[in-house]
Amino acid sequence: MGIVAGLDSSPDFTRIVVCDADTGAVLRQGYAPHPVETPDGTARPSDVDPQAWLLSLGEAAGGGLLEGVRAIGVSAQQNAVVPLDAQGNTVRPAMVGGDKRAQVAAADLIDALGGREAWAQAVGCVPQAAQPVTKLRWLAKTEPENAGRAAVLMQAHDWLVWQLLGRPVRRTTDRGGASGTGYWSAATGSYRSDLVELALGHQAMLPEVIGPAEAAGTTPEGLLISAGTGETMAAAFGLGIGLGDAVVSLGASGSVMAVHPEALVDSSGMITSLADATGMHLPVVTTLNAVRTLRGAAELLGVADLEGLSDLAMKSTPGSHGLVLLPYLEGERTPQLPHTAGMLAGLRRESMKPEHLARAAFEGMLCGLADALDVLRGRGVEVRRIFLLGAAAELSAVQAAAPMLFGAQVVVPQPADYAAIGAARQAAWALGVSQGTLDPRTPPVWQGAAAQVLEPGEELAVGQAVRQQFVSVREQTHPGAFRA
């Protein structure tokens, strides 16, 4: 089919990959940071002029990068809201990221609809500060004039697709991106415009949700633009995960998501019911404490970096000589213990050594993520293979403990621009469907990610014992924390 491109507009930069449409092989790539200046030159702003995304897109695509490309897919940061007026101009800068300004607005919205369960039933998720629906509530409360002018609501990838197509009358999005807004239900496949009104104070125009293999349109030059999607969904598509696969992401906080054939409604709010970029579903469970647990342990032990902490932990043995670290350093979402603190249990004279505390930090972090995995497994989600993402996935202590604690094969993909690759794969799919060479129900088969594969093997029983040690301490400290 020739060549296609995938564009990923992350919070900080634009990455473009050009791929062979049949195999997925990356042929060339471009990169440019967003020209976003912050007041103090450090912290990422909560408000961004979306024109910055276009400027870095143009720079990343320079030097003839897109020459010969027949279709483009767009992935972009999730949770960014671009409010437009009736003429299509931005009312104010885009509201991006995990906006802590909106925490009060999230609580207001939860109460306004009648509680967490009401939101879970309505759209499969409970409002968080970062979500678009919550940002709309914040806008209505703090900038009522701007809120009143907001006639059209778009997300980052919607807006970029619209711009690439020359700002047509038709505005589109995909089910993956829509599922993160807080006003579209993955279970019903439809918007809840009443929730937009609840948040913003009035109705607004929302993009049309098109199918995974549909094209959003074609430029006058004949370049096909696919539906686009959010970064999470694009990365999952780029990795090639399917039924039986889960992805564990190790950032400061952690997340666990898996492919499932249906939307999950979770009255506790621990599961966020997202849609993926293929027509399936991506239930997600997040933890507040992942790599921040390791960084805290490294500081406590006076270790320079996480590699040093990992080396130290490898001098200990599974179970950390009885030490158990409950890693709830920032409170926790899974289980819902927002006001709790972490705890170190099992201190004995023989366990009071740096290597055992280092090992307990790794085991505590991974057991917390295993708890999140069990939330999904408990709802019938099949998990046979786990993709482990993030820089910490390369650490030897993580790789030694993860397979036995998760009880499954662990795949550590080589670092790559999986969101951009997923966007390119979506472009190839839409191109193939438009030409009649691909089925709209079956995406193109691309070569899988190069990866290291780790098996639990004979360590499985040891891992189960370590998990049980962790669960016992958690239950003694927070009895019934996982009961609905």
pLDDT tens digits along 350-388? 999 999 999 999 999 999 999 999 999 999 999 999 999
Does residue 194 carry a pLDDT above 70? yes
The kind and range of the H/E element at 420 are helix 418-435
pLDDT at 44: 58
Q: How far apart are CA 62 and CA 45, in angstroms?
A: 26
The kind and range of the H/E element at 329 are none
Q: How far apart are CA 291 and CA 308, in angstroms?
A: 14
Per-residue CA distances from 273 to 166, 267, 294 (Å): 33, 11, 29
Q: Are 239 and 413 in contact (CB under 8 A)?
A: yes
265 — pLDDT class (breaks 50, 70, 90): confident
Eight-state DSSP code of residue 179 = T
Buried b (16+ CB within 10 A) or exposed e, 191-200: bbeebbebbb
DSSP 3-state assignment of 462? Answer: helix
Does residue 484 carry a pLDDT above 60? no
Spatial CA neighbour of 398 closest among 309, 292, 304, 288: 309
Residue 87's contacts (CB-CB under 8 Å, 6 or more residues apart) are none
Q: Are 144 and 150 in contact (CB under 8 A)?
A: no
Q: How far apart are CA 149 and CA 234, in angstroms?
A: 32
Q: How many CB atoms lie within 10 A of CB 140?
A: 20
Q: Are 369 and 256 in contact (CB under 8 A)?
A: yes
Q: Which of 285-294, 443-452, 459-468 has the lowest mean pLDDT?
A: 443-452
Geometric angle at alpha carbon 286, from 233 and 52, rounded to 5° = 50
User: pTM of the entire structure?
Assistant: 0.93
Q: How far apart are CA 474 and CA 484, in angstroms?
A: 16
Q: How many CB atoms lie within 10 A of CB 281?
A: 25
Q: Are 98 and 129 in contact (CB under 8 A)?
A: yes
Does residue 459 carry a pLDDT above 80? yes
Does residue 1 carry a pLDDT above 90? no
Region for residue 222 given its phi and psi (left: phi exceeds 0; alpha: psi -120 to 50; beta: otherwise): left
- Extract the tokens encoding 349: 């004279």
- Extract the tokens encoding 295: 């960084």
pLDDT at 38: 54
Does residue 395 carry a pLDDT above 90? yes
Residue 33's contacts (CB-CB under 8 Å, 6 or more residues apart) are 12, 13, 56
Q: How many CB atoms lie within 10 A of CB 188?
A: 12
Per-residue CA distances from 407 to 76, 101, 236, 255, 465 (Å): 33, 39, 21, 17, 11
> What would the pLDDT profile of 5-60 be if each residue is shown by its tens digit?
999 999 999 999 999 999 999 999 999 999 866 555 444 578 999 999 999 999 99
- Extract the tokens encoding 302: 């006076």
DSSP 3-state assignment of 105? Answer: helix
Beta bridge partners of 69: 3
Eight-state DSSP code of residue 465 = H
Query: Residue holding tokens 């027509």?
Result: 279
434 — pLDDT class (breaks 50, 70, 90): very high
pLDDT at 97: 77
Geometric angle at alpha carbon 10, from 420 and 226, rounded to 5° = 45
pLDDT at 42: 44
DSSP per position, 379-405: TT--EEEEEEESGGGGSHHHHHHHHHH
483 — pLDDT class (breaks 50, 70, 90): confident
Report the sign of the C-alpha dihedral through residues 302, 307, 311, 317, in that order: positive
Does residue 146 carry a pLDDT above 70? yes
Residue 411's contacts (CB-CB under 8 Å, 6 or more residues apart) are 385, 386, 387, 388, 451, 452, 453, 454
Per-residue CA distances from 113 to 117, 126, 133 (Å): 9, 11, 13
Geometric angle at alpha carbon 282, from 362 and 71, rounded to 5° = 115
Eight-state DSSP code of residue 449 = P
pLDDT at 68: 96
Angle between helices 354-377 and 396-406 (to 10 degrees): 40
Query: Residue holding tokens 């603190």?
Result: 341
Q: How far apart are CA 248 and CA 359, in angstroms?
A: 19
The kind and range of the H/E element at 63 are none
Does residue 86 carry a pLDDT above 50? yes
- Extract the tokens encoding 224: 């096909």
Q: How far apart are CA 95 and CA 5, in angstroms?
A: 27
The CA R_g of the chain, rounded to the nearest whole Å, is 23
Q: What is the length of the chain?
A: 484
> What would the pLDDT profile of 65-84 be if each residue is shown by its tens digit?
999 999 999 999 999 999 99
